Chains A and B, each alone.
Chain A
Amino acid sequence: MVSDLISDADCVRRIQRGEKDAFEILVRRHEKTIFNLVYRMLGDYDDAAEVSQEAFLSAYRAIGRFRGDANFSTWLYRIALNHATTRRRSLNSRHHRTTQLEETELLHDGQPGPAESLEKKEMRQRVQLALNQLEPEDATVILLRDMQDIPYDEVARILKVPIGTVKSRLHRARQALKSLLAGYFYAGRKAI
């Protein structure tokens, strides 16, 4: 597609010149990544759809001030994570999110379940539940590094912290996640 040949920076320049339709290219290019990040941060499909949409609209409103010092994706990640963190803090009822998780996983999972083992599905739900129980900063760094596979330096730019902070925060976050899931892992290892 022609739109694939246009870089994010070009799209941003076009939007800043008044070609508002260029924003659609950016939305289509980043919607899945942003939606997944927000979804895993919140664990609720509808909340994720709403917050992702707000994140894109915030980016659109602020795009006039985007100077191109960072990648557009870095900037967009930052906006989306800010929105998701704010929403996550406002959602105090984790039980509510857990219930929603079970339904949405079955409905919207990319690989529907008939052929999938019940064990794997259950594990995914438990991982999501554990992510929900982490501090938002810990969940953020795990999702950026482990789920999105973003390098340390880029994570540091997204979070606006030094690389050393990213490493120490990631270590702490993985330890916390391991503590929440350890029972399953050790049980599996012993079974093996």
Chain B
Amino acid sequence: MNCDEIQRQLSEYLDKSLDVITARTIENHLASCSRCAMEAYAVTECIQQVKALAPVDPPLGFSRRIMARVRELDARSGWWARLWFPMRVKLPLHATAAVLVGALAIIVAQREQPKDRQVSDQVSSGATASPESKTADQSTLQAPSLPTASIRSPIDTRAEPAKARVEPNSSFASTASGNVEAQPNGGLADDEKAAKNTPRRPPIKVQEVAVDGLARSSDPFGFGPSAGALRQQGRPLGASDRFLSPLSDPSADVEFIVRRRPRQRPDQQDASAVATSGQPSALPEPAAPPLAQNASVVEIRWFTVPAQQFEQFKKELAAEARIESERSHLHTAGNTGRDLLVKVLILSPTDR
């Protein structure tokens, strides 16, 4: 072993971590080599001097200060720690919750998206219905792609959904005050007053339906202030709605074309109510000519009526609006014992 090798292992030799043979070899070399012995002495002195460094006491109250900081940390991060610790429990819990919320958001977004699209289609088609559409010809009204809800007066179009007040339990008579259109300013307030002045009668058992089988409302007829029309704004249109024709529709058992009665003064309403209950004036008027060229369709409504109550339904309908035309497809229906699907096409009271 030469001096370089000895000096390379000197550190371990002084730490006594070498095997006995190597240690003895180094010891013998140091005894005979003054240069390596001097080197060994210097390294030993270094080690001794570092060992001799006097221990220093930490400042007074060192641990107390640390514990004060620890308690301060606990107080400050208490809620945060409770939220996240122990991490092995909280992290998977939070991750699962985040995934669930995300999945729920995606599902809701996917469900809402088509609805929004349909509503925007509906609104845009309604918005394009200009006042000139009142004089739209029959072919326009028969356009199969025209959604039902878009066939309404400009006043209906302006009426905001937020103003629509749906009264599920309102009776036929209570809504039949002659206020057939929502008034932009205060129209609903007028309707409320009129409804209070009108005697209530029990509703007949008809169900307004959509053709696709979904119940539109429990409000029979809904001839009130176009609440039905406003309701339809928020209803997604089914595929069948898009193909509703305002005129002859073989899918209906019975079709009516009715004209809303003009708004009545309060003193006339009582007389009208008496007349309605007295039946004679409630009878349908003779069949009017088919839909006039310049007629403006306010709304189309569908009802299911038990066959045995059809006459009653017709009387009530006649009390609310003037029946201008009636067409029955019952011969195609076959079974007259079932509920009848009745289509009511409502015309504006002013068109003639």
Interface residue ranges, A against B (CB under 8 Å): 20-21, 23-24, 27-28, 31-32, 35-36, 39-40, 45, 48-49, 52-53, 56-57, 60-61, 64-65, 104, 108-111, 120, 123-124, 127-128, 131, 142-143, 145-147, 149, 152, 167, 170-171, 174-175, 177-178, 181-182, 185-186, 188-189
Is the C-beta of B8 less than 8 angstroms from some C-beta in chain A? yes
Q: Indicate whether A189 sits within 8 Å of B41 (C-beta atoms), given known contacts A20-B71, A24-B67, A49-B58.
A: yes
A64 and B53 contact, CB distance less than 8 A:
no
| Contact segment of B42-50, B215-223, B248-256 | B42-50
A186 and B38 contact, CB distance less than 8 A:
yes
Q: A61-B73, A170-B11 are in contact. List 12 more A-B contacts (CB 8 A).
A: A20-B71, A20-B74, A27-B66, A31-B58, A40-B53, A57-B66, A145-B15, A167-B12, A167-B17, A171-B11, A177-B46, A178-B39
Interface size class of B (residues with CB under 8 A): 35 or more
Q: How far is the CA of A120 from the CA of B15 in the complex (A)?
A: 24
Q: How far is the CB of B149 from chain A (nearest CB, A)?
A: 61
Is the C-beta of B54 less than 8 angstroms from some C-beta in chain A? yes
Is the C-beta of B79 less than 8 angstroms from some C-beta in chain A? no
A110 and B42 contact, CB distance less than 8 A:
no
B53 and A20 contact, CB distance less than 8 A:
no
**Hey, which chain B residues are within 8 Å of A142, CB to CB?**
50
**Contacting B70 at CB < 8 Å: which of A57, A111, A147?**
A57
**Hey, which chain A residues are within 8 Å of B168, CB to CB?**
none
**Contacting A146 at CB < 8 Å: which of B41, B42, B47?**
B47
**Hey, which chain A residues are within 8 Å of B74, CB to CB?**
20
B46 and A110 contact, CB distance less than 8 A:
no
**Hey, which chain A residues are within 8 Å of B51, CB to CB?**
146-147, 149
A146 and B50 contact, CB distance less than 8 A:
yes
Interface residue ranges, B against A (CB under 8 Å): 8, 10-12, 15, 17, 38-39, 41-43, 45-47, 49-59, 62-63, 65-67, 69-71, 73-74, 85-87
Q: How many A-B residue pairs have CB under 8 A?
A: 120
**Hey, which chain B residues are within 8 Å of A131, CB to CB?**
50
Q: How far is the CA of A174 from the CA of B44 in the complex (A)?
A: 9
Chain A's closest residue to B48 (CB) is A146
Chain B's closest residue to A40 (CB) is B53
Q: How far is the CB of B45 from chain A (nearest CB, A)?
A: 4
**Hey, which chain A residues are within 8 Å of B54, CB to CB?**
109-111, 124
The 7 A-B residue pairs whose C-beta atoms are closest, nearest first, are A35-B58, A171-B11, A146-B50, A27-B63, A185-B45, A127-B49, A178-B42
**Contacting B56 at CB < 8 Å: which of A20, A108, A127, A189?**
A108
Q: Indicate whether A64 sits within 8 Å of B12 (C-beta atoms), given known contacts A152-B17, A178-B42.
A: no
Q: Indicate whether A181 sits within 8 Å of B49 (C-beta atoms), given known contacts A20-B74, A49-B58.
A: yes
Q: How far is the CA of A185 from the CA of B49 in the complex (A)?
A: 10
B70 and A108 contact, CB distance less than 8 A:
no
**Hey, which chain B residues are within 8 Å of A147, CB to CB?**
50-51, 53
Q: Indicate whether A185 sits within 8 Å of B65 (C-beta atoms), given known contacts A124-B52, A174-B46.
A: no
A186 and B42 contact, CB distance less than 8 A:
yes
Q: How far is the CA of A36 from the CA of B58 in the complex (A)?
A: 8
**Contacting A123 at CB < 8 Å: which of B8, B49, B57, B70?**
B49
Q: How far is the CA of A189 from the CA of B45 in the complex (A)?
A: 10
B53 and A178 contact, CB distance less than 8 A:
no
Name 5 interchain pairs, CB-CB below 8 A, sorted by A. A24-B67, A45-B56, A49-B59, A57-B70, A167-B11
Chain A's closest residue to B63 (CB) is A27
A53 and B66 contact, CB distance less than 8 A:
yes
Q: How far is the CB of B338 from chain A (nearest CB, A)?
A: 71
**Hey, which chain A residues are within 8 Å of B52, CB to CB?**
120, 124
B69 and A143 contact, CB distance less than 8 A:
no
B65 and A53 contact, CB distance less than 8 A:
yes
Chain A's closest residue to B69 (CB) is A57
**Hey, which chain A residues are within 8 Å of B39, CB to CB?**
178
